[in-house]
Amino acid sequence: MQNQQAQPERKKKVLSLIQPTAVPTVGNYLGALKNWKQMSEDYDCVYGVADLHALTVRPDPALLRRQSLETFALLLAIGLDPDQSVICVQSRIHTHAEMAWVLNCYAQFGEAARMTQFKDKSKTNADNINVGLFTYPVLMAADILLYQADYVPIGDDQKQHLELCRDIAERFNSLYGKTFTLPEAFIGKVGARVMSLQDPTKKMSKSDPNPRASVSILDEPDAIVRKFKSAVTDSEARVKFAPGKDGINNLMSIYAGCTGLSYEAIEAEFEGKGYGDFKAAVAEAVVEELRPVREKFNELLEDKAYLADCIDKGTETALRISKRTMDKVKRKIGLIRL
């Protein structure tokens, strides 16, 4: 009797969405986006533009449409392949909103009220503390559970949200039997943690009001050079990674993320050289790292028909996958299915 050929092992599923509220920074790129291409080789990935999440701040409609299309184009520009991964726009897939309502009925008010991000945003947006802001983590849970994701790449500020997602999934599973995969935080290659160029004790943010504090993925080379020239360092003028040298440590982290060099190799390369030389080298490394992304992005924006085809393809695939979960949930909770 012939031995049956072993079936290939199922790839684990990863889901990650990005809000279209502003162009990502070099920090977002080195910390996460740069690794997404490799993740798509190793895992079964769903990537998307989280435009429904962006509605909590009531964005200008025309701006939201433009930024959503640009964010989708950016996902392709960093090297994601629509033939290899699911790349979609959240609002085009009606199951996200459907599942969010169902999960709202299985999330406890006290659980949602404990989310520190809601508390923080309520303080900074006191004139617009809307229900969507409160239930934001439940929509995030719907995004994840619809695709039966095994892993979700998250930052420290999203750990609570993933725990809430797991709590909701466990509650539903205990009531109706195994329905949802319990997702875990993605622990993969650690990207660079990039801090503000003007206050290196704070994480670089695309919403920083100081334009010199962050570098956008789409910044022109001249702008990148100017920002790094004005980056905060210290008075020692020695390129060495050490406690208390937040500014130079940050620049070394960025340089390492772009070149792949270790801190020891960077220290050796710039032995005897000042911060001016080092800042110029970091700027050049960032310019070259981002150049192909910016060029591909500009090329894609010129081909709206191709972008529309890719969005339609992602919508069709995402709907097919997510409807399997949605239909299962509807059956289990007693909704009529014809």
The pLDDT score that the predictor gives to residue 118 is 81
Cα distances (Å, whole numbers) of residue 23 to 28, 64, 126, 319: 10, 12, 25, 27
Summarised one tens digit per residue, pLDDT across range 67-102 is: 999 999 999 999 999 999 999 999 999 999 999 999
Q: What is the pLDDT of residue 154?
A: 84
Query: Residue 157's pLDDT band (boundaries 50, 70, 90)?
Result: confident
| 39 pLDDT higher than 60 | yes
- Active-site residue (options: 12, 178, 202, 203): 203
The average confidence (pLDDT) of the chain is: 92
Q: Please list the residues that pair with 25 across neighbouring strands.
A: 216
Alpha-carbon distance 56 to 60, whole Å? Answer: 12
Q: Which of 257, 116, 143, 102 is nearest to 195 (CA)?
A: 257
Structural tokens at position 170: 């466990």
Query: Residue 14 in contact with residue 152, Cβ under 8 Å?
Result: yes
**Per-residue confidence (pLDDT) for residue 1, from 0 to 100:** 45
The yes-or-no verdict on residue 26 having pLDDT over 90 is yes
In this prediction, residues 270-293 reach a mean pLDDT of 96
Q: Which residue has the higher pLDDT, 80 or 8?
A: 80
Catalytic residue flag (residue 296): no
Q: Which of 12, 13, 119, 121 is catalytic?
A: 121
pLDDT at 304: 96
The pLDDT, as a whole number, for residue 109 is 94
Q: Is 206 a catalytic residue?
A: yes
Domains of the chain from N-terminus onward? 13-191+304-333 (3.40.50.620), 221-299 (1.10.240.10)
pLDDT tens, position by position, 295-332: 999 999 999 999 999 999 999 999 999 999 999 999 99
The catalytic position among 12, 206, 240, 323 is 206
Q: Which residue has the higher pLDDT, 121 or 49?
A: 49
- Rounded Cα distance, 64 and 60, in Å: 6
Residue 121 annotated as catalytic: yes
Distance CA 163, CA 169 (A): 10
